[in-house]
Amino acid sequence: MARIVFLCPFAKHEITGGIKTIYRQAVLLEELGFEACVYQPGGPPSWFESRAQVLPARQFTARPGDVLVFPETLNGPLAELAQAGLPAKKVLFCQAHYYTMFSAIPPERFRQLGFDRVVCQSTVAKGFLERVLHFSNVAVVPCYIDQEVFFPRAKRPQIAFIPRKLPREAASIQKIFALKYGHLDSVQWQAIDNRSERETAEIFGSSTIALSLPFLESFGLVPLEAMASGALVTGFHGYGGQEYATAENGFWFPPDHLEEVADALARLINGLERNDPAVIRMREVGLATAARYNKESTLQALREVYGPLVG
């Protein structure tokens, strides 16, 4: 049987939702009976666990009949491989559609690279790829939230957040909150930085609130993982989060509304103290939203995309 090879030439310590998604899809394809693996020269990531097969060789050689899955960041060796004459089929798995603007290969040339299929994670990204890069029939393979990892724990008054992409905004929101709502200083802030997936899940699961700080996303895993953990979510949708962000499951803002986010944090804290039915309902809707992104839906989409390619 032909291999499905996800090309992931990133450092093993690099933390991104995209890398985690690649490994999860490789595992799910194996469950479906395909031969799937990840090419990551430095070895598998050190920050989450996966039973996916990994090719750690320094150089990659395609076999006849392989299905090579490229990320949208076509730089260095990936750019060379994407343009090479290969005895393999090629798939573009675009997890961050804006990043197509910053590859070594100009975005207007992407359609000339001979991809047999173009795949993304959301209708938000699908629309961009079809309108701007002029691909047709872009497939959506939804992410899934592993609820064996992300689930509610015993809660304490705490605001969890991942500042990696927007550290200045995170610091500014925290300062605005302290200046306006000093009487709420008993609520702790917990930054999640360079933590493993399980450590992150533990923090989200034990936090009452999650501050959402995504940026230039095509989907955005973090807010959904926080919802699955039973945290109330407010902050930015990061564009891609519009796939699931509603007025019922969180308080969502553009990335320049720093004071408004601080106000929303105070509103949630006060609502929790009063046991406000609207706030309790928001948590329930958040849990239900995350539950929609399940393993079964992802398996079905993967089967539909890769079945015809492998034959």
Q: What's the pLDDT score for residue 58?
A: 76
User: Could you list the residue range(s) of the whole structural domain that residue 175 is in?
Assistant: 156-291
Map 260-286 to HEC letters.
HHHHHHHHHHHHHHCCCHHHHHHHHHH
**198 in any annotated domain:** yes
Same domain, 140 and 7: yes
Instruction: Tell me: do 234 and 299 sit in the same domain.
Output: no
Residue 110's pLDDT is 96
HSE-CB for 195 with a 13 A CA cutoff: 17
Same domain as 36, residue 138: yes
Q: Residue 2 has what pLDDT?
A: 87
Which residue in the block uniquely carries the two structure tokens 């306006």? 180
Residue 149 lies in a domain: no
Q: Are residues 242 and 227 in the same domain?
A: yes
Are residue 87 and residue 134 in the same domain, yes or no? yes
Structure tokens at 6: 């996800």
d(CA 122, CA 242): 10
pTM of the model: 0.93
pLDDT (0 to 100) of residue 9? 86
Angle at 121 between CA 69 and CA 9, to 5 degrees: 35
35's tokens: 């031969």
Q: Does one domain contain both 201 and 76?
A: no
Q: What local confidence, expressed as pLDDT, does residue 265 receive?
A: 98
Mind giving me the DSSP string for 125-147? HHHHHHHTS---S-EE------T
How many residues comprise the chain?
311
pLDDT at 51: 94
* Residue 200 shares a structural domain with residue 276: yes
Residues 130, 134, 138, 141, Cα dihedral to 10°: -60
In this structure, are residues 104 and 82 in contact, taking their beta carbons and an 8 Å threshold?
no
Note whether residue 150 is domain-resident: no
The answer to whether residues 128 and 160 belong to one domain is no
pLDDT digits (tens, 9 = 90+) for 223-276: 999 999 999 999 999 999 999 999 999 999 999 999 999 999 999 999 999 999
| Residue 106: per-residue pLDDT | 94
| 28: in domain | yes
How far apart CA 150 and CA 13 sit, in angstroms, is 21
For residue 219, the domain's CATH number is: 3.40.50.2000
Same domain, 281 and 298: no
Whether 203 and 106 map to the same domain: the answer is no
Give domain status of residue 220, yes or no.
yes
Looking at the structure, tell me whether residues 287 and 219 fall in a common domain: yes
Same domain, 59 and 163: no
The pLDDT value given to residue 85: 85
CA distance 76 to 79: 5
Positions in the chain whose pLDDT score sits under 50: none
Say if 43 falls within a structural domain.
Answer: yes
**Calpha distance 32→299 (Å, rounded):** 8
104 located within any domain: yes
The tally of domains found in the chain comes to 2
pLDDT score of 237:
95
Cα torsion through 8, 14, 18, 21, rounded to 10: 80
96: closest CA among 45, 165, 26, 168? 165
User: Taking each helix axis from N to C terminus, what angle separates 197-206 and 221-228, rounded to the nearest 10 degrees?
Assistant: 50
Give the per-residue pLDDT at 218: 93
Q: Is residue 124 part of a domain?
A: yes
